[in-house]
Amino acid sequence: MPNIAIVWDFDGTLTAEDSTGLVIEDLAGKQPDEFWAYIKNLRGEDDKRDWEHILASDAPIWMYALSRIAFAKRTPLNEIYFQLVRRKIKLYPQVKQLLKNIKSLADEKSFKRTKTSIYHFIVSAGLHDLIRLVFDRSIVEHVWGCRYEVIKSDENDAFPESVPVYCMDETVKTRALFEISKGTFSKPKAHHVNAYVPDSELFCPFENMIYIGDGFSDVPALSLVRSKGGTGIIVYDPGLTRTKRKTKIDPLRRDKRADLVTEAIFSKSSELYKALRAKCIQIQQKHAAHTVY
């Protein structure tokens, strides 16, 4: 079954906003930059001598800090709360329509003949339960992201706590890509991500995978996908100033971190849409050439 997997980052890729930053602003009443500076200080990065410095993941630290703020505000980090924040998220124009248009390629006769299906996934270091509310499952098959579980330690607890149960960062994203390739995301109890899966049983071989991100935090995922024959794309906010493009985008283009670097424009006339459509057709045609009817 030659599935095609299109894997999207979220913040900076499908939206220009920092979705976690919206939660921080709402709960902490401060700008996200202040919160992230606080997290960096907690990590003690600037206090360490060079020889003992080990770059740690921010995710467990910021998730715990945010859960403490939420507890103090008596706000459980659950779907009810995230529904309120979700209204503040503004996707780039025509995002959902592009995802639908690309997915609908699978309805064409040529794709049906080879039984080639197209799936969208989101792998983000943002909050899973918030992002999941943005797209229904008819568009996005599965979402990976940081997750909380709201629990009471015992019946006498006055208020439940939001406990971090899954921390996502730039390297954990690569694990999600293996879960997509092997299909373990759909049968978590039946299969383990580290189990051997024959090529013939893969949900999506890496050569059929397209990863789309917006910056340096996506480099491990881009590198993995491209090293295994897949495609990597970097998008950037069309509104970026020339100075920010120089510091954020030009090094990625210069170092050839992706097969395509283009603006985050999602119309049918955009370079992004044309590239995705062409790649999906190319993958389908490759399978058609190896199919015996």
pLDDT in tens, 151-199: 876 666 667 889 999 999 999 999 999 999 999 887 655 557 778 888 8
Which residues lie closer than 8 Å to 288 by C-beta, 6 or more apart? 110, 113, 114
Give pLDDT, residue 126: 96
Mean pLDDT calculated for residue range 216-234? 96
Return the closest-CA partner of residue 282 out of 220, 223, 213, 229. 229
The Cα–Cα gap between 215 and 251 comes to 10
Which residues lie closer than 8 Å to 264 by C-beta, 6 or more apart? 13, 14, 16, 92, 214, 235, 236, 237, 238, 272
Give pLDDT, residue 40: 80
56 has pLDDT over 80: no
Give pLDDT, residue 157: 63
Q: Name the E strands within the chain.
A: 4-8, 118-127, 140-151, 161-166, 209-213, 231-236, 260-263
User: Per the structure block, which two tokens stand in for 281?
Assistant: 């057709």
Give pLDDT, residue 193: 78
Return the closest-CA partner of residue 3 out of 274, 199, 284. 284
Percent of all residues in the chain with a pLDDT value above 90, rounded to a whole number: 72
The Cα–Cα gap between 289 and 209 comes to 19
269 has pLDDT over 60: yes
Domains of the chain: 4-289 (3.40.50.1000)
- Work out the pLDDT band at 214, boundaries 50, 70, 90: very high
In tens, the pLDDT along 35-55 reads: 988 888 777 666 555 545 455
As to burial, measured by CB atoms within 10 angstroms (0-12 exposed, 13-18 middle, 19+ buried), residue 123 is buried
206 has pLDDT over 80: yes
81 has pLDDT over 80: yes
Give pLDDT, residue 273: 98
Amino acid (1-letter code) at residue 80: I
Q: What average pLDDT does the chain have?
A: 90
Percent of all residues in the chain with a pLDDT value above 70, rounded to a whole number: 91
Mean pLDDT calculated for residue range 229-254? 93
146 has pLDDT over 80: yes
Give pLDDT, residue 264: 98
Give pLDDT, residue 194: 78
DSSP state for residue 106 in the 8-state scheme: G
